[in-house]
Amino acid sequence: MQISELAHRAGVPVATVKYYLREGLVPAGELTGATRARYGEEHLERLRLVRALLGPGGLSVARARAVLAAVDTPGTSVHAALGAAHRVLPGVGPEGPADLEQARAVLRLRGWRVADDSPALLALAGALEALRAAGVAPTDELLDRYAEAAGRIGERDVAEVPTGSVAEAVRFVVVNTVLLEPVLLALRRLAQEDASRRRFPGDC
Partner DNA sequence: CGACATTGGGTAGTGCCACTCTCTAATGTG
Partner DNA sequence: CACATTAGAGAGTGGCACTACCCAATGTCG
39-98 residues in contact with DNA (CB under 7 A) are: 54, 60-62
- Of 64 and 106, which has the nearer Cβ to DNA? 64
Q: Is residue 158 at the binding interface for DNA, with CB under 7 A as the rule?
A: no
Element (H, E) at 8: helix 3-10
SS3 36: strand
Compute the C-alpha angle 128/131/136, nearest 5°. 125
Site for a copy of itself in 59-88 (CB under 8 A): 77-80, 82-83, 86
Residue 188 binds which entry of DNA, a copy of itself, none, CB below 5-8 Å type-dependent: a copy of itself
DSSP codes of every residue in 69-109 = HHHH-TT--HHHHHHHHHHHSSS--S------HHHHHHHHH
| CB 85, min distance to DNA, A | 17
Q: Which residue in 9, 24, 27, 37 binds DNA (CB under 7 A)?
A: 37
Q: Which residue in 5, 30, 155, 168 binds a copy of itself (CB under 8 A)?
A: 155
